[in-house]
Structure 1
């Protein structure tokens, strides 16, 4: 999925970028945040974003060095510098490092969106092509109904899924599907669906500051209370306790 990673200690700037993106044609992008280079590198190693927006002034490393390290991981990654420093040397360094853009704070809506248009359109086109390809490769194979069901669950975990609904898609009776699923996967359908949703929620807890109820909703749980109960049953701690380990 297409993502933006913003690395900045300036929460007002981060909030403004989020507001601009969420009210633009790029509202489908998932936005992750980090306030240190160390955390940003951890997040980059877990997932490649479509673009990296970073301030040059970070508490544990200058942004130029962080950007260079990011390019070692992903040579074609689009990096956008966001800073309040009007220094030619900094601009020159960013250009020589292979970064994609250099924006001065305070940011304007037009600057942000025109920059995203320039750096993201090739990336989003590639993302769309990959999504289409993945969709074609994940058509139901009725010779392998349980594997097909698992693939569908992994792609649609945040939707309202029922055992009967999935059984119908692979043309099996609910009872036979339930029995076969447990034998092949080692979990019941409900156990597996809950486990997948919790794994997806862990990524959001580690990589965003989204409220717990929003994460619950985005990962298919009916409410935050049920999410917390299920999470603790599987992970041995509440979502809040899990998040505190990373912040």
Structure 2
């Protein structure tokens, strides 16, 4: 289960955030809390959270320093500053440090939701990539080996909608020629390969994470969890939930 860490010495502020998260579509996050800089620092090392929400004014140090430490250990972590200090320089500092959001107390549920919507896809992509080992960099095209380049393209863009025309364009071939060449070299059609690849990625995520099935479906490029479940069962003769249950102790 992906972790989220809230570091704030005000109980009410932590409660507002926790209540929002546990009652929202983001309830699959495991929420942890700390009241001081030192405890927050320790929990960062132990939990390796995907998201850090931190107050600037903390006993022992400040939230900017904790955010900087978090980014130093994990450049992909999303850091949200959550404070009552209305100082423009702090906003600018948060931007310069690569933090994801700057929220002023008291904050409304809609403001929290907007911030989460901006960062949640990035955070889940990071969580997914940690298990699949895939990067989203666009690979260089080897014109001498277009099918190999097309495979790299698929692997780099698996969470996005992918069409045969798009991949053919990426290797500078006509769709019809690319389709024939792909089948000749791979022994399966483009769609068969793409579907099989996505199913294999989903199996890794089902085994190694507790991400919700609808999130996994989104992260591997399926348009809906229902379509993912149908495709998975056709391929593996069991549902995603049944497959995951095989690996639960």
Counterpart position of 1:109: 109
Counterpart position of 1:156: 248
Counterpart position of 2:204: 133
Which stretches of structure 1, 4 residues or more, deviate above 4 A after TM superposition?
152-155
1:3–1:50 contact (8 Å) kept in structure 2: yes
1:134, distance to aligned residue in structure 2 (A) = 4.5
1:50–1:120 contact (8 Å) kept in structure 2: no
Structure 2: gaps (5+ residues) = 132-201, 210-243
TM-score w.r.t. the length of structure 2 is 0.53
1:76, distance to aligned residue in structure 2 (A) = 1.4
Counterpart position of 2:53: 53
Q: 2:35 & 2:208 partners in 1: Cα distance? A: 38
Aligned residues: 144
Q: Deviation per CA, 1:29-72, whole angstroms, max 9, x where unpaired?
A: 11000011111111111121111000000010111111111111
Counterpart position of 1:96: 96
Q: CA RMSD in A?
A: 2.4
Q: 1:108 to 1:38 in 2, by over 3 A?
A: same
Counterpart position of 2:183: none
Secondary structure of the corresponding residue to residue 58 of structure 2:
coil
Q: 2:8 & 2:206 partners in 1: Cα distance? A: 35
Q: 1:93 to 1:128 in 2, by over 3 A?
A: closer
Q: 2:208 & 2:7 partners in 1: Cα distance? A: 35
Secondary structure of the corresponding residue to residue 59 of structure 2:
coil
TM-score w.r.t. the length of structure 1 is 0.53
Q: 1:121 to 1:83 in 2, by over 3 A?
A: same
Q: 1:14 & 1:53 partners in 2: Cα distance? A: 9
Q: Structure 2 matches for 1:169-180, cutoff 5 A?
A: none
